Amino acid sequence: MKVAVFSAKPYDKLFLSKYAADTAIEFTFYETSLGPDTLALCEGFNAVNCFVNDDLSVPVLSTLKDFGIRHVSLRCAGFNNVDIKQAEALGITVTRVPAYSPESVAEHTLALLLTLNRKTHKAYNRVKENNFSLQGLMGFNLHGKTIGIIGTGKIGLAVIRILSGFGCNVICYDPIQSEVVIQSGGRYVSLASLLENADIISLHCPLTPETQHLIDRTAIQQMKHGVILINTSRGGLVATQEVIEALKSKKLGGLALDVYEMESELFFKDLSSEIIQDDVFQRLLTFPNVVLTGHQGFFTEEALTEIAMATINNLLDYQSGTINPDNRVMTAPD
Ligand code: NAD
């Protein structure tokens, strides 16, 4: 089976090649992303394998069908970049890796929160220059603080477990409540109550038409003054320009992002010698109370191993006609 892998980085090649070694899968790795301009690269393949910022919109899917490709395999959990309805209409099966080490993203969420709060990134640079002044480095205890978790699926639950260990008061919002979340120390409240009462808010719900810009000016107005916002889920959950306004007015006391709504132009590339054209992202970088990482929540050895193994299983399962229903992406029944 010939599979074209898009947005392939050296670590993707390493992990996918290693776990496909004894299979009939033949990977061709393309560093470029999949989109209208790179579609020609897909000709002659049985399947494409894509990542978070590959473009799987209607025109791309239609051409894939014309090339005889009936399987889009995602090596990620989120699928907001795929037009699922259109894929179904075209008879293209979409598979993903719904669960891979949720702890990888949960632990990165904590890394961002602790960095933002205790300013370890600034302290590291100061100490390197023999500057041992503590002025400006004061943080606060997480112990006893109220943390609001929006989305209590696999990653949200892993974050709740860690925060319960810190002695936080964890309040949660999710349209589907989970008993294990309650047993792990989470208390479900309404979204309005969470926004009103949390000292720190962390986003762990998927990006859907309903959650697009969930955190906008109206939501921010309901929050406590000085609230801290963490987003390791998907950039589109946050209306970035409105969050910048809230940082300028100090309504928002801190912001940590691993994801950004226009990230497809920036992330996963070395642009250190380029002129960045995205003024909104550049404005975010100027705030002393903003910490940004480039979508690296998933980036642990354990997660990459699980992603590679599940991706290969999905490809082989599709070929043998026995797809794991949990790994197949389908539109919700009407
Ligand atoms: P999951 O499907 O296990 O959980 C998502 C939860 O969100 C579900 O419980 C669902 O009921 C809830 N939800 C849906 N709509 C909601 C709404 N309007 N308000 C509140 N909750 C809502 O998914 P997961 O594995 O926990 O992943 C969560 C998100 O993390 C993914 O959608 C993905 O976008 C993101 N993610 C990021 C990285 C990274 O590297 N930063 C890696 C993997 C996943």
320-334 pLDDT, tens digit each: 999 999 999 998 765
Q: Is 234 tagged catalytic?
A: yes
**pTM of the predicted model as reported, rounded to 2 decimal places:** 0.93
What are the tens digits of pLDDT across the range 280-315? Answer: 999 999 999 999 999 999 999 999 999 999 999 999
Give the ligand 1 atom nearest the CA of 108.
41
The rounded Å distance from CA 50 to ligand 1 centre is 19
Q: Is 283 tagged catalytic?
A: no
What are the tens digits of pLDDT across the range 206-230? Answer: 999 999 999 999 999 999 999 999 9
pLDDT at 30: 98
pLDDT at 334: 58
Q: Where are the alpha helices (DSSP H) in the chain?
A: 10-20, 58-66, 84-89, 102-118, 120-128, 154-165, 179-183, 191-197, 217-221, 240-248, 279-285, 301-320
The rounded Å distance from CA 78 to ligand 1 centre is 8
**CA 157 – CA 155 distance, rounded (Å):** 5
Q: Is 121 tagged catalytic?
A: no
User: Which residues in the chain come in under a pLDDT of 70?
Assistant: 333-334
pLDDT at 332: 78
pLDDT at 78: 87
Instruction: Name which of 176, 183, 185 is nearest 147 in CA terms.
Output: 185
